[in-house]
Every structure is written in structure tokens, then in C-alpha cells.
Chain A
Amino acid sequence: MLTTPRSYPKSWVEWTAIVIAAIIVLTAVFGGLLAPHDPLVIDFRAKLLPPSGTHWMGTDGAGRDVLSRLLTGAQLTLLSTLSVIAVVLVIGCTIGIFSAFVGGWVDNLLMRLADIWLGFPPLILALGFAAAMGASLQAAIWALVFSWWPTYARLSRMITKDILSAKYIAAADTLGVPAWRKVVLYVLPNAFDVLIIQVTLDIAAVMLAISGLSFIGVGAQIPTPEWGAMIADGRDYVRNGWWIVIFPGLAIFFTALSFNIIGDMLRRELDPTSQRRA
């Protein structure tokens, strides 16, 4: 199959996605500073105001500026998403690499376990977890970690196995290179590409799951401007305050969309196993 040289963004769609993702990341970093109003201080005299010059996205049922909440919430939403991914990355990869190194029945058992675990709907599993732990954003984050680790365990195990079978590892073996050095020297650098693709694609999925849990009421609590919680908060007013529901939804949508497009692009460009288009 022909391999085209790495030429990342291919179309205006991908360019747009990169720009949007960059804006979102910047918003997450500086969101609080950009907010024109205080996202938490309520003002019932100014509740349910439609979008206008002073409140670009209107105000919510407690008179808070929706735009300010959205900007502040970007940090929170993205940060919780990234915490989930960071933790599952560490836990998953540890299990996966361990499994590959040990091999034998342990490897078999761990991977079977991961296969099975992977099948369970994360949302309902997280719901069970939240029931045991109580409702909070932290509980939602742990709940997702609890249900998400197998993806990374399987991926990292696959990559490690691949590398361990390579010739240069055999050479390293004869030199007596300890396992941890092999991981640092060979496994991690080689796994990077594949993991970064998975991470990008998971940003959207994890973010949707967190906002779903917040929507059900087992995630972020008031007055936290987590995007899913904002939608949950606004749905009572949807008939006379559509803006409270629409904007956080669009924010989730565009974030998920842009990271998915980038992930897709990365997969095309970086993943040797994916199918390249003619």
C-alpha cells in the first residue's frame, strides 16, 4: 500500500477542527479571565434575559451570565476529562505493560478481564459506581476511570508484545537490560503515536460521559458550571430560555467534534495499522 508523506491537515474541515480545538484549549486555560461577569454570583433581578449586548448568551434561571459560566466551565469540563484520561492512561498502561512482560496465564487472564470489562456500557457501570460513592464530580471522574481502563490496558499490551518480539529487544536481553529500562527506552516511545490517537478520540467520549453523568445528577453539583450540569440546570427553563440549554450543548458538540476530527486525522497519519485512503 502506498504511504503518503506525513501531511497532517488535509482539508479545510481539519484546519477548522484544529482552530476550534485550539480556541477551546486556550479558553480552558484562560477561561476564567475572559469571563465578562462572575460565573457564580447570582442576580435574580437579571434572570432569564435573552442574548443581548451585555449578555451575549443571555442569563440563566439565577441571573448568571451564560457565556461567563461557559468559559469558566470549559476549564472544569476539560480538566475533568483530562484527569480521567490521565489516570486511565497510567493505570491501563501499567496493567497492559505488566501483562505483556509477565505473559502466560496472568497475561491471558488480565486480557480476558479487560475484554469483558470493555463490553459493559460505561455509563451504567459509572452509575453503579456513583451509587456506591455518592454524587459529586470527583465520584463521576473515578466512576469513569473504573470503567475506562481496559482500552488502554489492551492497547499498551498489544504494543508491548509487538516490541518485545522485535530483534533488538533480544539483543538488549543478552546485554541484561532490566525490564523498566526496556519500558522507558523502547515501549513508551513506540507506544506514543498509538496512545495519542486513542487519547484524542477519547476526549470526546469521556467528555460526553461526564456531562451525561452530571445531567443525570450524579456528577457535578450546583453551582459548578460543568457543561452537562448547565444543560441539566437549564432544561426546566427550556420553554422560555432556550439559550441556557443550547449554548452549553453546542460547546460540548463542537469540542467533541473537533477532537474527533483531529483524532481521525492522527489515526490516518500516524497509525501504521489503519487503512490509508487511496
Chain B
Amino acid sequence: MKSTLDLLTGTAIGAIALAGLTALPAMAEPQGVLVIAENETPENLDPANATNSTVDQLLLGVYDTLVQFTAGDVEVTPRIADSWEISDDGQTYTFTLKQGVTFHDGSALTAEDVVFSLERLVAANAGVMNNMGTYSGAEAVDDYTVALTLDAPFGPFLSALARIYIVSKDAVEPHMGDDNARQWLAVNEAGSGPYTVTDYAPTEAVTLEAFPDYWGGWDGNHVAEVIFRYVSEPSTQLALLEAGEVHIAPDITVEDKLALQGRDGYIVDIGSAATPLYFYMNTASEGPMGDPAFREMIAQTFDRQLHLDQVLMGFGTLPDGPLPVGWMGHAAGTELPFDLDAARAMVEENGWAGTELLVRYLPDIQEEQAAVEQLQSNLGQIGITLTAEGMTWPAQAATTGSVETTADLNMLYSFPNFPDPHAVLNGNFNGALTGAKGGLNWAQYENPEVDALLNAAASSADPAERAALYAQVQELVGADHVAITVSLPGSVVALSDSVEGYVYNVAHHQTFNYMDIGLK
């Protein structure tokens, strides 16, 4: 449910011309219906909300982007843009667009549509634009050339563009109204992707159908129809999977997934996701959490190994600090290990017993609830009462809008938009992106030293230099006890074995590459 910034290492200078797909007339016919269960209903269909995975998973097949992260890939590849050029000062990106791309409304995709899409997102104050760094404007050079300008160099720019879905200007412009077409695009689509939305009933199901004139053609095994069925109960999802009424059930309990692993007719796909789960401590709090010594005590009260073994049932990696283990710049041992006795000693020494704390979390996510229960249980043993308040995503986000309403602890998954330290560290720890300033730094953490390091790393092109800068960031964040990194769960998805071609997409966590999926 969340996303952060971006950055892809190499800043390419000069023309990159990769072989685009030749738009051959469709030979094969897509066939069959793929049904995917989803526990959370989508906000709406607006590309402005594509940071949210429930929205993103629908738009992924409906819209096109200039560049893309395909499933299984960790670098951007061309999509609508055949090639691009980056100016020497790194502030102008000029894209050459593919010709012959048609929107579902029949109009041709041109540079005007790209400019229109971006301008609308800016005007609508869209969440996806938070990822766009120093972006300043777009201009159509000719029908198939578009130039995007930045105020300052911004390394991760191309990666951020992979979530900018392009809408048809012809279709959207008449509905702009005074809300930048937010109401219209919330329930209508104006894309050029392989699938069209034919039925949108967000408390029940959303139906996507193959678009016959898709520019990429329909070679290979594809499904003619994709249905997202909104089923909030894990037990109901399992019953539906067993009854053959859904093909993919991502939200059933880990115990049930383990049980399915050995059964005929089912596949349990395990993807190496990189989505750390955190407890953020409200570092700006007027209460006990504002005290670094108190946070140091809290930091030692969560048993990560137990969580991995018994809650995730081994599906995942033991976390070591906020950055996924093995990533560029990862610094080991920055967070304190679990040590309840040390925490107890601190509580006794400082007379903290009887302190009451509040944690907010999303009860629909089982491992979040389990982690809250673990923490409650441990804190209870050392005399600290932790009250939990279950919420849904937007409501929880709203409470972090000011320091006063931010709970002592907040649980949050970081869904990085691409595998780069910037995507994790910047959004979570940059003082310019605190919850109070509308960002996802829910620890309300402001440390000028950290901000300077993060900004320097974002505009650097040297991997070694960046790695060193990010390592420093982790040391500082660890010393300030800003967050407890709870887990690094794997992506575990239960499928019927009639599904082929499912691949986990690390840049679009909790989505499905139904464009590539076929039914046996």
C-alpha cells in the first residue's frame, strides 16, 4: 500500500535505442477467464492514485507508460518511448514515442497525450507526482517527441516515470470540470494497454477484457478476461480457490499456504520481495517517545527471529536494519537486537513502568496484527501498556498529518517502486517528507545530517559513493532509534496450477502480471 522514491543507478547519456516491439497484426486470440481474489477494494481507477497497489494492479494492464519495469526485471525498459536522450546537464529528457499506439477510444497516442497526462497529475496534486523529484514541466516537440524538464538533476527520474500512466487527452479533456477529471477517471479509464475495464463495481468485482487492437499484439497464451473479485476474508478466499472459483488467492493465511504447498492442483509461488515492514516511533513526540533513551529501550523489545519463524513461517529474510539485506549500501548491525532483559533493566532504572503507548496498524494484514500482538505481549511483560488501534490505510495516513495526532508507534510497509536504496531510505527518513509534511516519514524524523546525505546520494552517479552515503544514513538512523524493522517477508501467492506465467514483480509489489498470464 505504499511507495517511496526511486532511482536507478546508471545515468545514461546519449541515445538508448532498444529494439521496440514490432506491431504485428494479432495472430493468436486471447482466451479464458482469469479470476484473482483481492482482500482490499480499490480506491478508484484514477492514475493519480497509482501509488496504491490496489489501484496499480488494475491500471498495470489498462494503461501504458513511457518506460516500464516488467515482472522479474530490476531495470527500466522502453514501453511507449522507443528511445530517449538525456541532456548533458541532466535536466532535459527527450523521448521518441512509438507510432501506431491506439487508445481504447480509438485515438492515437501522441506527445500531446503525454503532456496532458503529466499536467493533469500536477494540477490534481496527485500522489504519484511525489515520486517525480525535481520534475518541472513537459512539452510536445512534435507528434512523437516529448521533452520533460527538471529543475535540477534527479537520478531516479526514469524509474519514477514507470508509474506515470498515460491517459487519452481526447477522452479525458471533456470531463476535466473543476476537479481535473478526478471524478470521471475514478470510474472510467482512458488507456491504451492490453486490457480495458468493462465493469467496475468496487465492492464486488472489476472486470478487464482484452483490447483486440492492442498495439503489442496478442501472440502467445493470454487470457481474454481478468476478474478481480474483492473477498476480504482469507477463509472465504481459500474456499473459493478450492472450489475453483478463483485462480489466484494471495491473501490466505500462511498456514493455509503451507498446507497447499503439498497438494495437487495448486502452486505456491514464492517471490523474493523487498518490502520491509516497520514500527515507526514518533520521534517528534512530546511524550516518552520523544526521548531517545526511551526509544532505545523500545528498540530492543521486538523478536524478529520469532516473527520470521512462527508468523511468516520462514517465508522471508531476517531483517538487519531498514534496508533490505544484500542491497547496495546495506550496513549491518545498525538496529539493536532483541533483548528484553536489557529493556527491562532500562525500564526499572528510569521508572518507566506504567507508561501507556498507542500503536496504529492495519488489521487486515495478518502479519501486522501478529507483530502488534508480539510487541504488546513483550511490552506487557516489562510493565508498559501498548494500546492498539486498527485502521485502514487512508485513515491511518491521515493521523500522521500532524505530530500531535501521530501515534507513538505506527506500522507501515515500505513498497519500494524499484530496487534501489533511495526508494526505501529517502521516503522513510528524509525530514522533508515527514507525515506532517504529507510524506511517509511517519516517525516525523528530522535530522539535517541525514537529509544532506540522502540528497547527495540522489544526485550522485557513482555507485561506490552512493553506497557509502547510504551506509552513513543507516548508521545515523539506527543511532537515533527511529524505527524497528520487523520483517522482510517474501511474496507468497497461492495459485491454481492451471495458471502459467505468473512472475512476481518487485517494482509493482502486490500486483499480478496478468498481461503475461495464460490458462492451461
Contacts and interface: CB of A to CB of B under 8 A. Distances in A.
B376 A223 contact: yes
A235 B381 CA distance: 28
Contacts of B391: 135
Interface in B373-424: 373-374, 376-377, 380-381, 387-391
B370 to A, nearest CB: 6
Nearest to B251: A236
Contacts of B256: 239-240
B151 to A, nearest CB: 41
Nearest to A46: B310
Contacts of A109: none
Listed residue (B238, B256, B309, B310) with the most chain A CB atoms within 10 angstroms of its CB = B310
Interface string B216-240: 0000000000000000011100110
B286 interface: no
A62 B373 contact: yes
A237 B369 CA distance: 14
Contacts of A62: 370, 373-374, 377
Interface in B468-514: none
Interface string A153-195: 0000000000000000000000000000000000000000000
Contacts of A41: 377, 380-381
Contacts of B387: 221
Nearest to B309: A44
A136 interface: yes
B310 A222 contact: no
Contacts of A48: 255
A223 B373 contact: yes
Contacts of A235: 233, 235
B373 A222 contact: yes
A221 to B, nearest CB: 5
A44 B306 contact: yes
Contacts of B309: 44
Interface string B82-106: 0000000000000000000000000
A223 B235 contact: no
Interface string B249-263: 000010110010000
Listed residue (B233, B309, B381, B390) with the most chain A CB atoms within 10 angstroms of its CB = B390
A221 B310 contact: no
Contacts of A42: 373-374, 377
A227 to B, nearest CB: 17
Interface string B336-375: 0000000000000000000000000001001001101110
A47 interface: yes
Q: How large is the interface on B (under 10, 10 to 19, 20 to 34, 35 or more residues)?
A: 20 to 34
B255 A237 contact: yes
Given A223-B388, A239-B238, A239-B239, A40 B366 contact: no
B267 interface: no
Interface in A216-252: 217, 221-223, 235-240
Contacts of B208: none
Interface in B249-296: 253, 255-256, 259
A47 B311 CA distance: 10
A9 to B, nearest CB: 41
B310 A238 contact: no
A45 interface: yes
Nearest to A44: B310
Contacts of A223: 373, 376-377, 388
Listed residue (A42, A47, A240) with the most chain B CB atoms within 10 angstroms of its CB = A42
A140 to B, nearest CB: 13
Interface string A28-51: 000000000000111011011000
A243 to B, nearest CB: 14
A61 interface: yes
B310 A236 contact: no
A135 B255 contact: no
A136 B389 contact: yes
A221 B307 CA distance: 21
B385 to A, nearest CB: 10
A40 B390 contact: no
Contacts of B376: 40, 222-223
13 contacts: A42-B377, A44-B307, A44-B370, A44-B374, A48-B255, A61-B366, A221-B387, A221-B389, A222-B390, A223-B377, A223-B388, A237-B255, A239-B235
Smallest CB-CB A-B distances: 7 pairs? A44-B310, A42-B377, A236-B234, A238-B235, A62-B373, A222-B388, A41-B377
